[in-house]
Amino acid sequence: MNGKNRILNILNNKQVDQIPWVPFAGIHAGALKDYTAKELLTDKDKLVESLMEVVKIYRPDGMPVMFDLQIEAEILGCDLVWAEDAPPSVSSHPLELSKEVPCKCLIPSKQDGRLPMVLEAMNEMSKNVGDEVALYGLICGPFTLASHLRGTMIFMDMFDDEEYVMNLLDYANTVCMKVAEYYMEAGMDVIAVVDPLVSQISPAHFEQFMHKPFKALFDFIRKNEKKSSFFVCGNATPNIEVMCLTNPDSISIDENVEMKTAKEITDQYNIVIGGNIPLTTVMLLGNQQDNMKCVIDLMDSVSHDNLIIAPGCDMPYAVPIENTIAVQQAIRQPDDVRKMIENYESEDLNIEIVLPDYDRLEKPLIEVYTLDSDTCAACTYMMAAANIAKKAFGDQIEVVEYKYTSKENIARCIKMGVPNLPSMYINGELKYKSLIPTKTELYQVIKEKL
């Protein structure tokens, strides 16, 4: 049984010879050939060369061709900020100041933006490895795409103008279906609908606004005889069941969701679950034994049916190659790896962290704990809410971000007891956990602290 068979069988709820392995080596693929993130995401030849290196080194069962949630947004008028070692991030929102819904005639064509490059890469990868490896086409989900267009105002709109939100989501979903159609025509076996912001809303709001577009999207993919994955970031635990009700073939989660808890829900609906190796603490900053132990512990915690092992999201650019090989080895040779790590204990972080004296602050202090607001959409919008408040209140408040990309900030998260990322603290008190505040809510809290 080759990798593609393994992925397609598991997504058809069939037995496989071993747990499938999907390295989400997006920008990390470029690091394998010393290409920057921008080079990788704008040059077809460099992208394909890097992806072939992923196949060679990591021996995946399935893999994404492109991990960039800004492709559709860029075409629809959002400005992007590029980095050397991270995907681009959206820096402007065309509908932020004008509550409009674009005409459905304004749908991306195959010739728009970077789509020609992406489709060429998909066709080439399909010819190169499409018989052996299941290829994933990643699209930006309708909620995150609508948020890219509207900005943080969409969270206020969900309370103030429900009809507008539904209409904007309907437009965004039309874009999603068209891009998914292009990717399926280009040979993609699995369409992954990546929507990080789903973790930032309540189950009630999901049912009210999101069920219809997501259900229609997954039905569309199924009608085209392809498989689907509902990819969410952040603490989506409360929304796992309502996500299942949209009927995707699989759900992918990150480290903010406890795999055993989530799988108990997905198993009730006979939906495959994938994830959720921690990106920073294990893959980026850990060693080979840490990665092996993480995977073995993960596999031992749940049944192996309807299970895919994968990183929690797009792998950081600088993940050591040996760490990802260690993950693959633990999946392929679990008995041998168990013996290798049977007496291994991970090292504790011995970093002294001095917290502010929250009782004696001169002004309100907003601390935003993120995976990285430059790369994580949910974190981007949590941080944007804080920055908007800073712009409004000026020197009356202070705002700081702690990115979960350094050992010092990881130690700070541990000392503060941060439960999930992103989270927002005000004067040392947890105020928003994985839920982005509306401007009205946040301003009211700040005014109370002033």
pLDDT digits (tens, 9 = 90+) for 304-315: 999 999 999 999
- Alpha carbon separation from 387 to 70, 152, 171, 271, 442 (Å, rounded): 21, 11, 28, 39, 11
**Does residue 282 belong to any structural domain of this protein?**
yes
Residue 423's pLDDT band, with cuts at 50, 70 and 90, is very high
Residue 389 has pLDDT above 90, yes or no: yes
- Based on the fold, state whether residues 334 and 362 are members of the same structural domain: no
- Based on the fold, state whether residues 191 and 316 are members of the same structural domain: yes
Token output for 412? 């700070």
Number of domains in the chain: 2
- Based on the fold, state whether residues 384 and 414 are members of the same structural domain: yes
**Does residue 291 belong to any structural domain of this protein?**
yes
Neighbour tally for 113: CB within 10 Å: 16
- Based on the fold, state whether residues 299 and 362 are members of the same structural domain: no
**Does residue 317 belong to any structural domain of this protein?**
yes
Last residue of a domain, one of 341, 371, 388: 341
Question: What is the pTM (predicted TM-score) of this model?
Answer: 0.90
DSSP state letters, 45-95: HHHHHHHHHHHHHH--SEEES---TTHHHHHTT--EE--SSS--EE---TT
Residue 434 has pLDDT above 90, yes or no: no
Last residue of a domain, one of 309, 341, 373: 341
Average pLDDT over residues 423-448: 92
**Does residue 320 belong to any structural domain of this protein?**
yes
How does the average pLDDT of the chain come out, rounded?
Answer: 95
- Based on the fold, state whether residues 335 and 369 are members of the same structural domain: no
- Based on the fold, state whether residues 281 and 383 are members of the same structural domain: no
Closest CA to 59 of 2, 126, 1, 121: 2
Closest CA to 209 of 162, 260, 262, 171: 162
- Can you tell me which residue has the tokens 């992806």? 51
Token output for 107? 């749908």
Neighbour tally for 435: CB within 10 Å: 23
Q: What is the C-alpha end-to-end distance of the chain, expressed in Å?
A: 64
- Based on the fold, state whether residues 335 and 363 are members of the same structural domain: no
Strand partners, 365: 398
Contacts of 448 by beta carbon, 8 Å cutoff, 6+ apart: none
- Based on the fold, state whether residues 120 and 150 are members of the same structural domain: yes
Give the model confidence (pLDDT) of 255-295 as tens digits: 999 999 999 999 999 999 999 999 999 999 999 999 999 99
The CATH number linked to 318 is 3.20.20.210
**Does residue 378 belong to any structural domain of this protein?**
yes
What per-residue confidence (pLDDT) applies to 140? 98
**Does residue 59 belong to any structural domain of this protein?**
yes
- Based on the fold, state whether residues 195 and 331 are members of the same structural domain: yes
Q: What domain range includes position 411?
A: 358-449
What per-residue confidence (pLDDT) applies to 208? 97
Token output for 389? 């408040």
Contacts of 128 by beta carbon, 8 Å cutoff, 6+ apart: 48, 52
